Amino acid sequence: MNNQILCNLNRGGLLREACIATGLLPVELLDRGELPLPGVRAHKVLAGGGPWPFGVRLESANPVNLEPLAGTSVSLPGNVFPLFSIRYQNLRLCLLAFAPAAQANSSAPRAAMAVIQIQNDSQQTVRGAVLAPAKSRTLSERDNARSEKGNELVTCLDETTWQPHFPEVNFILKAGERKAFTFALILGESTQDLKHTETTVRDRPVLDWLHHTWQFHASRLGRLAIPESPFFAEFQTRLEEVCRQAQLRTGDGSFAGGFLGSYISQETKTWAKDCFYAGLPKNCACTRFGRPTFGQEASRYNELHAQALRDCR
């Protein structure tokens, strides 16, 4: 994801354990007289959301979630973007999930974008609906709710529109026809925060967001080619992504710790010093291969670690 929002995806395309960082709290250590110590001895404060399952309902049939369907395959375009291919009856479905990169002079949106493409491989017209995550609410519903305490929402993007009985998006596909449906899954610290993020993601089409994010990662990573062993070239990118995706930032862009790898477990107590050691190989790689943007970002962890040690003395 984009370090403002982190989220797990399983092999079936289910988005779950999404979270954002709202701050850091010092940890009181008994062996130091219960004095709060800054820096590495700090725990991140998280706000979570999900799981966010998508599904499909064909006319006169029961709805099904995409995640448990058999025959799902996964690919990684650009070695970064997870693309799930799913077969269901005579439909071919593709789910692409990504978190948009930051625009100039701003933080990345605290949102995951999901693009679902459905193709009708039958010789007949098919009617049905895409099912969005039901536990999240649109902003209009949140405004009308008396006691809505959630910090997440799902919203349609581009030409995708809700039916009156949210959360369905109806479709009619002629033989061989395909259509795409786009959504944003948003986390925030307040309703105002959610509205701001929704406005941001609606500023440009999802295809533009994808192109912008693709170019951001392509310029950051470069292209490593090992013709005789292509697996190792791809694996190098995946190693870097495991490192990058482990790290969280608060809404103002400050470093807020992270996790041990790209698997998100909100119950794990990971100190900021562990994130520093995870970021160190990234810094070394950038220094060695001349990726200044990459290295400058990682070097911030060195500075934070050093400052924390000075504060503790």
Integer Cα distance of 298 and 4 in angstroms: 16
Yes or no: say if 61 and 44 are a contact pair by the CB < 8 Å rule. no
- CB-count exposure of residue 128 (10 Å: 0-12, 13-18, 19+): buried
Pairing of β 64-65 and β 152-156 = unpaired
Integer Cα distance of 301 and 313 in angstroms: 19
Number of domains in the chain: 1
Tens digit of each residue's pLDDT (9 = 90 or more) over 18-27: 999 998 777 7
Integer Cα distance of 280 and 204 in angstroms: 35
Query: Does 140 map to a domain?
Result: yes
Integer Cα distance of 137 and 243 in angstroms: 32
pLDDT band at 61 (very low <50, low <70, confident <90, very high): confident
Query: Does 1 map to a domain?
Result: no
Within 10 angstroms of residue 109's Cβ, the number of other Cβ atoms is: 26
Burial 92-101 (b: 16+ CB within 10 A, else e): ebbbbbbbbb
Integer Cα distance of 199 and 102 in angstroms: 14
pLDDT for residue 288: 47
The residue type at 31: D
Query: Does 127 map to a domain?
Result: yes
Burial 202-224 (b: 16+ CB within 10 A, else e): eeeebeebbeebbebbeebbeee
Query: Does 99 map to a domain?
Result: yes
Q: Calculate mean pLDDT across residues 269-289.
A: 57
Strands (E) located in 30-159: 35-49, 55-58, 64-65, 73-75, 83-88, 91-98, 111-120, 126-131, 152-156
First-last CA distance in the chain: 36
In terms of DSSP H, where are the helices of 49-189?
139-144
Beta bridge partners of 18: 49
Q: Calculate mean pLDDT across residues 5-34.
A: 79
Q: Calculate mean pLDDT across residues 2-10.
A: 90
- Residue 179 scores a pLDDT above 90: yes
Residue 152's contacts (CB-CB under 8 Å, 6 or more residues apart) are 18, 49, 50, 135, 136, 185, 186, 187, 188, 194
Tens digit of each residue's pLDDT (9 = 90 or more) over 182-200: 999 999 999 899 999 999 9
Yes or no: say if 53 and 67 are a contact pair by the CB < 8 Å rule. yes
Four-CA torsion 67, 69, 70, 75, nearest 10 degrees: -40
Find the domain containing 246 and state its range: 6-312
Tens digit of each residue's pLDDT (9 = 90 or more) over 95-139: 999 999 998 878 899 999 999 999 999 999 999 999 988 755 555
- Residue 234 scores a pLDDT above 70: yes
How is residue 108 annotated by DSSP?
Answer: P
More confident position, 66 or 260: 66
Query: Does 124 map to a domain?
Result: yes
H/E segment holding residue 194: helix 191-201
